[in-house]
Structure 1
Amino acid sequence: MLRIEKEGRVAKVVLDRPDKHNALNAELIQAITDAFRQLSTDASVKVVSLSGEGKSFCAGADLNYMAEIAAFGKEENYQDSLRLADAFESIAACPKPVVAYAHGACLGGGAGLLAACDYVVSALDAQFGFTEARLGLAPSVISPYVVRKIGIGHARALFLSAERFDAETALRIGLVNRLGDSADEVVRMLLENGPVAMAAIKKLLSELPSWDSGQAREETARLIANLRSGDEGQDGMKAFLERRKPRYQEE
């Protein structure tokens, strides 16, 4: 269903339903939530990667799962949708940087998983789409993450048309950050950075849109002051001046 592999300070979360193109069902959705909540508090982990086993990253909702939820009443559907929302939020709220590798089919909720991540590397042959409208549905639960990534204009066009698009288009609109054969280079790059700083950056970017100019002035000044005077920032600045590696690169 899902497995976690640890290599040094990297936790690799792998969707593991290759015979179903890693399509989402209730069990996988819960496994994603549990995995990212666990890794969020694991001090031994600095970077998290997310990928899919087999031919696809994630082809959206599993057909059997869709048959089940089609029979649900309104309240059951609401509770099920909240559990789905928890899965996406567990990724977005993870204080560690989350890097995804997209390949094959990345449709519906699969594209939503990518949007919840911080950095997405894609194979050139990956196919994307927010195809819910073809089923008389809407990409509702994933919309906060997708709109943050690609903007309301691209979301409006792609949600309403339900068209599929390629990796180069995904790169152009911001759903994907770079094209490549793996996410390894990005993971190595992130391992060079301070973990406290990266967690602070994620929190800053999450809260910044809700601040007015006065609050932004105060909060951003307070954040950089805290980082400059903290152990990690002190070591990072001294290491730069002394032309040595900071401790967080040697751990």
Structure 2
Amino acid sequence: MDYQTLTISIAGKVATVTLDRPDLRNAFNETSIAELAQAFDELGLDDEVRAIVLAANGPAFCAGADLNWMKKMAGYSQAENEADAMRLASMLRTIYFCPKPVVAKVQGDCYAGGMGLVAACDIVVASEGANFCLSEVKLGLVPATISPYVIKAMGEQAARRYFLTAERFSALEAKRMGFAHEVTVPEALDAAVAAIVKALCNNSPNAVREAKRLVREVAGVPVDDAMLADTAGRIAAIRASNEGREGVASFLEKRKPSWLA
């Protein structure tokens, strides 16, 4: 696909999806939403890709919605607005459910819908100069479409504050609340992301995929008999899988597993 708002590169087993509208602070519109959904859908199905990095060109990571797109939406009917919002919701879900691990590389400011993009990723690494803001209420709006992911990432109590105040907060504050996993000086950002990606690619592709699904499906679920049966079934199935057998055998035989050969 010939992308207008993104650049995509694949080096080894790692794909990098880069937001590429730096003159507009990588704000998204209907085109970038469609392209992000397409990119993550295709990369998620690519057996050669073991990890995906979501990055951005320019001084900002993502300023949220494009102003021209927002102006156009102001004239939409209720039904048109709902259809438009569903396209954004579907794109975020595609990233969240992507079977490959997704690492957000946040080099600059991340506002509004941009925070939804980051929250849908699995691992977040940010430059210490990046700032975050859920600015929707300043415009008379609410961060509804991104809320399932942002609340999971920052926690309900932090969301109570920042959804309501639209205050800007730092990368270090994002890390403190759990929204970002790691914060680095700008010149160390590439190395920090590369180290995480290397760790991901060293592991069993099937186990990484199943571990991602495990977190998503177990978090917040009561520990009852159904949960015990579910988790027992998962470990039994993966022990009997080809990569499960290979991983144990390679450990006992003191050799590299086949996915590192």
TM-score w.r.t. the length of structure 1 is 0.97
| TM-fit CA distance, 1:113 | 0.5
SS at match of 2:155: helix
Matched, 1:194 2:204: yes
Off by >3 Å, runs of 4+ in structure 1: 209-212
CA distance in 1, matches of 2:227, 2:99: 21
| TM-fit CA distance, 1:210 | 6.8
Q: Which runs of 5+ in 2 are unaligned?
A: none
CA distance in 2, matches of 1:2, 1:49: 13
| TM-fit CA distance, 1:54 | 1.1
CA distance in 2, matches of 1:94, 1:104: 24
The one of 247, 254, 260 equivalent to 1:236 is 247
Matched, 1:132 2:152: no
The one of 216, 232, 243 equivalent to 1:206 is 216
CA distance in 2, matches of 1:214, 1:80: 41
AA paired with 2:199? M
| TM-fit CA distance, 1:77 | 0.5
CA distance in 2, matches of 1:197, 1:64: 43
How has the CA–CA distance of structure 1 residues 200 and 176 changed in structure 2, closer, same or farther, with 3 Å as cutoff?
same
Could you report, residue by residue, the CA deviation over 1:57-114 in whole angstroms, capped at 9, with x for unpaired residues? 1111111111111111111100000000011101000000000101211000111111
Q: Within 5 Å, give how 1:43-54 maps onto structure 2.
A: 43-54=47-58
SS at match of 1:99: strand
| TM-fit CA distance, 1:56 | 1.2
Match of 2:61 in 1: 57
| TM-fit CA distance, 1:238 | 1.6
Match of 2:24 in 1: 20
Q: Which runs of 5+ in 1 are unaligned?
A: none
CA distance in 2, matches of 1:10, 1:65: 32
Q: Within 5 Å, give how 1:85-100 maps onto structure 2.
A: 85-100=89-104
Matched, 1:70 2:77: no
Match of 1:185 in 2: 195
SS at match of 1:57: strand
SS at match of 2:17: strand
CA distance in 2, matches of 1:82, 1:232: 37
CA distance in 2, matches of 1:134, 1:46: 40
Match of 1:247 in 2: 258
Match of 2:228 in 1: 217
Aligned residues: 250
| TM-fit CA distance, 1:45 | 0.8
AA paired with 2:71? A
| TM-fit CA distance, 1:211 | 4.5
SS at match of 1:120: strand
CA distance in 1, matches of 2:9, 2:144: 31
Give % identity: 42
Q: Within 5 Å, give how 1:149-188 maps onto structure 2.
A: 149-180=153-184, 181-182=189-190, 183-188=193-198
AA paired with 2:195? E
AA paired with 1:156? R
Q: Is the 8 A contact 1:239 1:246 kept in 2?
A: yes
| TM-fit CA distance, 1:40 | 1.3
